[in-house]
Amino acid sequence: MDPIDTRTLQQLDAAHHLHPFNDNAALAKRGTRILTKGEGCYVWDAEGNKLLDAFAGLWCVNIGYGRKELGEAASKQMTQLAYYNSFFQCTTEPTVRLSAKLAELCPGDLDLAFFSNSGSEANDTILRMVRHFWAVQDQPQKNIFIGRHNGYHGSTVAGASLGGMKGMHKQGGLPIPDIHHIDPPFWFGDGGEMGEEEYGLLCAKRLEDKILELGPDRVAAFIGEPIMGAIGVYIPPKNYWKEIERICRKYDVLLVADEVICGFGRTGEWFASQYYGFQPDIMTLAKGITSGYIPLGAVMFNHRVAEVLATRGGELAHGYTYSGHPVCAAVALENIRILQDEKIVDTCRVDIGPYLAEKWKAWASTRWSAKPVSPAWLVHWNWCRKSRHANFSRTGAGWGSCAATSP
């Protein structure tokens, strides 16, 4: 492509590009930042500024920028077979291999994959599939989902409804019927003088109270992010999810873990459900599955749900043109290979995670936090997988900020 100066790009952007989650009128006046290059945990803008991407894109660039192996994997697959669909009794080899790899990595018996293009579509999928699961077992009335206020599960109609963002609900007449919400765990903000375990049980009881209010015969599933991200990163008490699982089992409510942000190592385990020690019935994935290099999402079902979806109710009337896209699957496989071969998840758990937790604790204890710090706080930070060359800055209003230094 011929080079275009920054101001012209900004003008073209303002004229022709509607940005998600932005005041587009204000952005057009200010001019958007144009990013041009990425390497490791750094990105460069069109003015030549080198920036530490502590947000990892949108919590997704788990292996860092500039990994040529992923581009090579995409190129090889595009040359061999650029596309074929998963309809009409067909599939492709990368799609099959990725399904098997995810079954190997995911905890417990989560070993049946359904592919989408994003986390939003994955969560949209589970709304239909869970309701279908109960309907074909002669329980069509068991169709209510319970989510959490301020939770985020994407921006499709179903995903935004499952989430509890009031600002999103104001646009488009959301939430859709039969989706309810409870308050999330936010020990740092509203735990008061309660200990972590006491507060965790209190928060989990909100789910039980809501199930009893609505009727266990009506509630199909509970969905939650193991660590809530978009609202500002809420770290739950360590016992919260185990108690949530106990309640779901007691009332035969399916447990859905939205691992779109937390999955693929962001807590020092492959999945945050492993970190917190609970077993979901369904798990949604995206972001780190390809480190953001190419769009891909997935839903993982356990044996119980998979058997019903695969053998009852006839044809599964759901899918996307790009479900299981071979190029996306090939990139995901190469991304996972890098995570495994370079032991990035292990390094996070035994080295970088504890180091960051130690530094964060020392920094926070002198300012505003008396609560414990754990490696789960890595959700706040970019995947600094090979170096510790970052200083903690005092400029962060809520969660702090990370300032680059030279290696």
Q: With a cut of 60, say whether residue 258 has pLDDT above it.
A: yes
Q: In angstroms, rounded to a whole number, what is the distance separating the alpha carbons of residues 202 and 57?
A: 34
pLDDT at 9 over 50: yes
pLDDT value at 376 more than 90: no
CB atoms within 10 A of CB 16: 7
Rounded Cα gap, residues 186 and 181, in angstroms: 15
pLDDT at 375 over 50: yes
Confidence of residue 3 (pLDDT cuts 50, 70, 90): confident
- Residue 93 covered by a domain: yes
Per-residue pLDDT, 400: 27
The answer, yes or no, to whether residue 383 has pLDDT greater than 50, is no
396 — pLDDT class (breaks 50, 70, 90): very low
Residues 6+ apart with CB under 8 A from 172: 157, 160
Say if residue 49 is exposed, middle or buried (CB neighbours under 10 Å; 0-12, 13-18, 19+): exposed
pLDDT tens digits along 271-315: 999 999 999 999 999 999 999 999 999 999 999 999 999 998 788
Q: Give domain status of residue 26, yes or no.
A: no
Interval 112-129: pLDDT, tens: 999 999 999 999 999 999
* Cβ pair 264, 290 in contact under 8 A: no
In this predicted structure, what is the pLDDT of residue 176?
95
Among the ranges given (88-92, 98-102, 175-179, 353-357), the one the predictor scored with the smallest mean pLDDT = 353-357
Query: Which stretches of 147-226 are DSSP H helices?
Result: 157-162, 166-169, 187-190, 196-214
Mean pLDDT of 26-52: 95
* 182 in any annotated domain: yes
Among residues 287, 161, 182, 301, the alpha carbon closest in space to that of 236 is found at: 182
Q: Closest Cα partner for 47 from 28, 33, 29, 65? A: 33
> Does a structural domain hold residue 85?
yes
Decide if 377 is inside a domain. Answer: no
Which has the higher per-residue pLDDT, 399 or 199? 199
Residues 6+ apart with CB under 8 A from 274: 107
Residue 381 is predicted with a pLDDT of: 47
Say how far apart CA 380 and CA 406 lie, in whole Å.
21
Note down the domain range covering 167.
Answer: 70-340
Number of domains the chain contains:
1
The residues with which 145 forms a beta bridge, in sequence order, are 179, 221
DSSP H helices in 136-256: 157-162, 166-169, 187-190, 196-214, 240-250
Q: What is the pLDDT of residues 210-238, one digit of tens each?
A: 999 999 999 999 999 999 988 888 899 99
Q: What is the pLDDT of residue 2?
A: 79
Q: Looking at the domain assignment, is residue 346 inside a domain?
A: no
**First-to-last CA distance in the chain?**
33
Q: What is the CATH number of the domain that holds 248?
A: 3.40.640.10
The distance of Cα 370 from the centroid of its chain, to the nearest Å, equals 28
- Number of CB atoms found within 10 A of residue 196's CB: 17
CA dist 93 and 101 (Å) reads 12
CA distance 53 to 372: 26
Q: What is the band of 157 on the pLDDT scale with cuts at 50, 70, 90?
A: very high
* pLDDT recorded at residue 406: 28
Query: Is residue 235 a part of any domain in this protein?
Result: yes
